[in-house]
């Protein structure tokens, strides 16, 4: 995992906003992952929190280490022909190891795959055995339809009882890219965070756009042999760290908002999120009818290469 740890430290050194939950706006939950030295803990007095440039001093800092979190996770895995052989075997091994880290937890996990089209391999379950058998059954064939895979992931998470997360893996270019903007809107409407992983010939900019649109993170694994390290890092983002809970001032004129968290003047991260229906959507609704329901979504900007 050295290549990944080194990249993380160079990028933000200490503090990363790993995801955000704004479904209860104006209350928002900001999830932080830290790279502090062993024995050190994040302290509230060391943090400065800003929303729309205004400092927020009334916030909770919750240590999630050892805490039972309500999470619903769906793997969305590329099984196109280019994944055949070592790449798919490494991907299956990394996903299996991720499941092993969930043993004893009450986290729900599902599995969807995509090639030319997409399918649901397993609905959400707390049984790691069922998921492991589903992962073992995967084989590679066909083209790449990332948009279709994400649609299947959204369908799996319809029954989610916890915070919904997709872990997306792809090594190619989306053959249905014209659908992705509509898919991003669906993800935003349902508050689904996407952690996107690119390997081999993946379109990194495209995957980063998906992660950014949902408050998640994009990681370039470079080679499939690094997938185990990448999935361990994602598990830390999802399962460990800290949560900031704060209430912000509602402002109907600001659809696009941002939160910045700073640690001891030494490190910071910033996340963008959208509240309500944008002016563009309102204009479209006036001319084309209702286009989208009210939604609150997180928009992230953290990327690791």
For the residues of 224-265, what is the DSSP string, one character each?
A: GGGHHHHHHHHHHHHHSSEEEEEE----TT-SEEEEEEEETT
Q: Where are the alpha helices (DSSP H) in the chain?
A: 2-12, 86-101, 128-136, 146-156, 180-189, 204-213, 227-239, 279-288
Give me the pLDDT at residue 1, please. Answer: 36
- Residue pair 56/27 in contact by the 8 Å Cβ criterion: no
Give me the pLDDT at residue 5, please. Answer: 36
Mean pLDDT, the chain, whole residue set: 82
| pLDDT above 80 (res 56) | yes
**Lowest mean pLDDT: which of 172-186, 187-201, 205-219, 240-254?**
240-254
| pLDDT above 90 (res 245) | yes
- Residue pair 178/150 in contact by the 8 Å Cβ criterion: no
User: Rounded to an integer, what distance in angstroms lies between the CA atom of residue 82 and that of residue 201?
Assistant: 9
What does R_g of the chain's alpha carbons equal in angstroms? Answer: 19
User: Rounded to an integer, what distance in angstroms lies between the CA atom of residue 79 and that of residue 40?
Assistant: 41
Q: Is the dihedral of CA 266, 271, 275, 278 positive or negative?
A: positive
Q: For 72-77, what is the mean pLDDT?
A: 96
What is the 3 state secondary structure string of 165-179? Answer: EEEEEECCCCCCHHH
pLDDT single digits (tens) 140-170 = 999 999 999 999 999 999 999 988 999 999 9
| pLDDT above 50 (res 4) | no
pLDDT single digits (tens) 274-297 = 776 544 454 444 444 433 333 333
Among 97, 123, 94, 119, which Cα is nearest to 109's? 123
Give me the pLDDT at residue 6, please. Answer: 36
Give me the pLDDT at residue 35, please. Answer: 67
């Amino acid at each position: 995992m050295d290549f990944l740890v080194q990249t993380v430290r160079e990028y933000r050194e200490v503090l990363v906003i790993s995801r955000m939950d704004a479904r209860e706006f104006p209350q928002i939950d900001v999830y932080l992952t830290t790279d502090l030295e062993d024995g050190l803990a994040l302290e509230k007095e060391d943090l400065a929190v800003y929303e729309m440039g205004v400092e927020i001093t009334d916030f909770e800092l919750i240590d999630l280490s050892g805490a039972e979190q309500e999470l619903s996770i769906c793997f969305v895995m590329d099984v196109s022909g280019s994944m055949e052989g070592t790449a798919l075997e490494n991907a299956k091994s990394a996903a299996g190891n991720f499941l092993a880290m969930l043993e004893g937890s009450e986290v729900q996990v599902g599995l969807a795959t995509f090639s030319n089209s997409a399918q649901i391999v397993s609905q959400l379950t707390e049984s790691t055995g069922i998921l492991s058998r589903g992962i073992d059954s995967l084989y590679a064939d066909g083209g790449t339809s990332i948009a279709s895979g994400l649609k299947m992931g959204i369908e799996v998470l319809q029954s989610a009882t916890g915070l919904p997360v997709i872990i997306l893996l792809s090594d190619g270019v989306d053959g249905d890219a014209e659908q992705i903007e509509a898919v991003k809107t669906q993800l935003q409407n349902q508050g689904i965070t996407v952690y996107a992983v690119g390997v081999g010939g993946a379109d990194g900019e495209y995957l980063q756009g998906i992660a950014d649109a949902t408050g998640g993170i994009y990681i370039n694994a470079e080679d499939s042999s690094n997938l185990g390290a990448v999935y361990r890092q994602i598990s830390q983002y999802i399962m460990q760290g800290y949560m900031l809970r704060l209430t912000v001032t509602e402002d109907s004129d600001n659809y696009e908002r941002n939160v910045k968290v700073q640690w001891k003047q030494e490190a910071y991260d910033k996340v963008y999120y959208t509240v309500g229906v944008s002016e563009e959507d309102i204009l479209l609704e006036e001319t084309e009818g209702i286009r989208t329901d009210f939604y609150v979504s997180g928009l992230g900007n953290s990327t690791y290469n």
